[in-house]
Structure 1
Amino acid sequence: MTLSRAHVEDVPPVASVHAGLGARLSLGGAAGDAAEFRDRVRALIRERVAPLLPDAEDARRFPREAVAAFGSAGLFHERWTGGRHGDLGRSVLLSEEMGRAGLGGIGIGVGLHLEAALPLLYRFGRTDLAKDALERGLSGTAVCCVATSEKDVGSDLSAVGAELRRDGTGWRVRGTKWFVSPGAAADLVLVLCRAEDGPAVVLVERDGVEVVKRLRTAGMRGLETARLSIDAHVPDEAVVARPGHGLSALLAGLMYERLAISAQIMGTLDLALTLAATHLRRRRQFGRPLVDHQALRLRLADLVSEVTITRRGLYGTVTELDAGAPVTVCDIAGIKAVAGRLGERVASECLQFFGGSGYLEDETPLARLWRDLRVCRIGGGTDEMMLEIVARGVRGDARLYEEWVERG
């Protein structure tokens, strides 16, 4: 983008620029182009989902009406129509729009339903029970979630203690899961547990789950994260990933979750940056708009540049994955780590542009966006775990090293 003059007045709103980038994403199926899909998502959020946010934040409850709204509009079906990955372009645009609407915990909850739980059923559910659960999730008549972490088990999922044992004609699932979102609102829980032959993923209905504690999170207050006690008898059909294959199935699902989290971060940053850019134009100090002060103007430009480049990296990765290119877990982990850290920093800087009013939750949304984004460095895999995955994929080149370093 070339600026015709020093001021930012001639530049389109940040969100408009980034929406233009989104139009380049490839969408599958016959439901129209990216701009048309984005418009439908945006209208549905404005009319049916965003009005749920104040009560969800105040009551710390995840509104199942949000899942029902997207599902009944057919958006979940469109996302999971197509090949192995469904329609990744729709995944990104849907996630971005939830972030751009500032949905916070509602957006993340819908994302976990759509991009963490449903992929397991879509890719690995082969029984009639699993297919029925998938259809309930896609139609929005059931809220789905994944339960993995435990008291002493976070990133090391191979150490789960929840047990899966043979019990008559079926299986007995027992264990306590520590951080489950949106666990207190879920109708169907996909539980990572340990069987004699290795980790498995099992589908448990609501009547086999007890909410032990609703957790008071710093942000994402509408997400309804909970500690769950699970004690259920399930049939063979409820085993989505059989013993020994649970971790590989879960890791496949995490790929979509991490991309969706990154996309929601990008959408949220569009909102924060657009509000900040507008404020710098409107707010006057020392007789002139804040945007006339070079230090503020260049800080904003730096933040917009970083977000734009990160978004292009996300779009490129999704496009390559959709085309069958060799995208690795290292690539996706790297995007998630970069997006998570960038999100927290950019939201903090945008809050700073507003001064005192930015810190007041009853005057601007910046404080809420800031605390909401903080969890993105933890959920779906911590920064440290993501960077460890990236580090494992970094390889040297002995021949190149010898040519350039040891040639003497």
Structure 2
Amino acid sequence: MQGTASAETTAFRSRVRKLVATHLTPLVPEAEQTRIFPREGIAAMGAEGLFRERWTGGPYGDLGRSVVISEELGRAGLGGVGAGVSLHFEAATAILRRCARTPYAIEVRENALDGRYVCCLATTEQHVGSNLAEVGSTTLTRDGSGWRVRGIKWFVSPGAAADVVLVLCRAEDGLAIAMVPQEDITVVKRLETTGMRGLGTARLDIDAHVSDEAIIAGPGLGLPMVTFGLLFERLAIAAGAVGSLELALTLASTHLRRRKQHGVALFEHQALRLRMADLVSQTALARHALYGVIAGLSAGSSSLGDLAGVKVTIARMAEPIVSECMHIFGGRGYLEDETPMARLWRDLRVGRVGAGTDEVMWELVASEMPVDDDLYDTWIPEEPS
């Protein structure tokens, strides 16, 4: 991480940046045009050992490496390609790493860590968005010696490219997670998303017979395990947004120095210069808040509400900041073939929905808001009768 980064972290960031430039950046133009997620990106990064390095250590793996990778994916302006890589090695792999106990589950986990499999998480349904406790139309029922998984999942990313989908489903005794292979999944529709066009978001029809070994979280354990996976997706969204903001701000501030009007650099106009200084300061504050929460998670002092608050705050900041950077470029900022500003702007919008909407994040924060009756009574006099 930046600022007081150690030599080891700096070297790791440099390595990640080179790997992203080599293996992922060249995939973006075609993915944006075709809306097909390039699975070879996950294969390449897994083969480089990046996913295993991120998941070295305790139950959260190496959170410092996690943040660095997500920041660099954002800073490279990868859009959906970066988001798909992130969803694979954060949300899906987090659940596999924590829950894999059977030989089949361990096989899937190892293939995911090495990039041989593309994995993703399928949770939402037609009338169920962020409130996953209401999942019910995708069912898990006993069928002979195994289980029948049946239902339609909406907004699965990168669902059309996945080898194995972790499906949140309703069993008689509560929510469970079943691993469903690609051959038992039909892509109903490739969704025409506004941003993240290379992510391969799809609506999936699932009709599978799976063995006991494929139930990675049994009935009653599905919701807490999905919540665990979403913790890392929220982290990746926040860190990726910080990286994208750094890209936008660096391009815009450089443009201020290089673009001249009437023989004077735009930087010499105080209004523009101070506007950019404000945006840079907001982003620095967001970055340090994120780093503080990550340090707290590693030490056991940060909560789910802390991360939810950072995620929603950064996601909400990102849109107006990039919009202001677009403005610095004038008309060219609105041209997708001349600057990346418009694409960054629309790609960042999904951060306010992914891994839980703004409202769900604020509810998590609200549930942890401090209450101190003694302090209140000390400072606030009793209302007169």
TM-score band, normalised by the shorter chain? over 0.9
Q: Please list every run of at least 4 consecutive aligned residues from structure 1 whose deviation after the TM superposition is greater than 3 angstroms.
A: none
Paired residue secondary structure (2:151):
strand
C-alpha offsets along residues 65-95 of structure 1, whole Å, 9 cap, x if unaligned? Answer: 1101110000001111111111111100000
Structure 1 residue 287 displacement after superposition: 2.8
Aligned residue pairs total 382
Of the candidates 155, 160, 168, which is equivalent to residue 144 of structure 2? 168
Using a 3 Å threshold, how does the CA distance of structure 1 residues 69 and 331 change in structure 2: closer, same or farther? same
Paired residue secondary structure (2:167):
strand
Alpha-carbon separation, structure 2, partners of 1:152 and 1:297 = 47
Alpha-carbon separation, structure 2, partners of 1:158 and 1:208 = 25
Give ranges in structure 2 of 5+ residues lacking alignment: none
Matched residue, 2:212: 236
Residue 307 (structure 2) pairs with residue 332 (structure 1): yes
Alpha-carbon separation, structure 2, partners of 1:141 and 1:103 = 21
Matched residue, 1:403: 378
Matched residue, 1:285: 261
Matched residue, 1:394: 369
Matched residue, 2:110: 135
Please, what TM-score do these two structures have when normalized by structure 1?
0.92
Structure 1 residue 246 displacement after superposition: 0.5
C-alpha offsets along residues 380-403 of structure 1, whole Å, 9 cap, x if unaligned? Answer: 111111111111211321111111
Paired residue secondary structure (1:21):
coil
Structure 1 residue 337 displacement after superposition: 0.4
Pairing 1:6-405 to 2, within 5 Å after superposition: 20-21=2-3, 23=5, 33-160=8-135, 161-323=137-299, 325-405=300-380
Answer yes or no: is the 8 Å Cα contact 1:74–1:139 preserved in 2.
Answer: yes
Answer yes or no: is the 8 Å Cα contact 2:91–2:230 preserved in 1.
Answer: yes
**RMSD (CA atoms):** 1.2
Using a 3 Å threshold, how does the CA distance of structure 1 residues 22 and 111 change in structure 2: closer, same or farther? farther
Paired residue type of 1:51: P
Paired residue secondary structure (1:151):
coil
Please, what TM-score do these two structures have when normalized by structure 2?
0.97
Matched residue, 1:10: none
C-alpha offsets along residues 145-167 of structure 1, whole Å, 9 cap, x if unaligned? Answer: 00000100001111112000001
Structure 1 residue 286 displacement after superposition: 3.2
Alpha-carbon separation, structure 2, partners of 1:320 and 1:326 = 5
Paired residue type of 1:134: R
Alpha-carbon separation, structure 2, partners of 1:118 and 1:60 = 23
Structure 1 residue 261 displacement after superposition: 0.8
Answer yes or no: is the 8 Å Cα contact 2:23–2:45 preserved in 1.
Answer: no
Paired residue secondary structure (1:222):
coil
Answer yes or no: is the 8 Å Cα contact 1:22–1:34 preserved in 2.
Answer: no
Structure 1 residue 327 displacement after superposition: 1.6
Alpha-carbon separation, structure 2, partners of 1:251 and 1:213 = 26
Alpha-carbon separation, structure 2, partners of 1:335 and 1:149 = 23
Paired residue type of 1:307: T
Structure 1 residue 407 displacement after superposition: 6.9
Paired residue secondary structure (2:367):
helix
C-alpha offsets along residues 257-299 of structure 1, whole Å, 9 cap, x if unaligned? Answer: 1001100000001100000000001111233111111111111
Alpha-carbon separation, structure 2, partners of 1:204 and 1:88 = 28
C-alpha offsets along residues 283-323 of structure 1, whole Å, 9 cap, x if unaligned? Answer: 11233111111111111111111111111111111112112
Matched residue, 1:7: none
Alpha-carbon separation, structure 1, partners of 2:241 and 2:370 = 29
Paired residue type of 1:169: S
**Percent identity for Structure 1 against Structure 2:** 58
C-alpha offsets along residues 33-87 of structure 1, whole Å, 9 cap, x if unaligned? Answer: 1111111111111112101110110111100011011100000011111111111
Structure 1 residue 22 displacement after superposition: 6.8
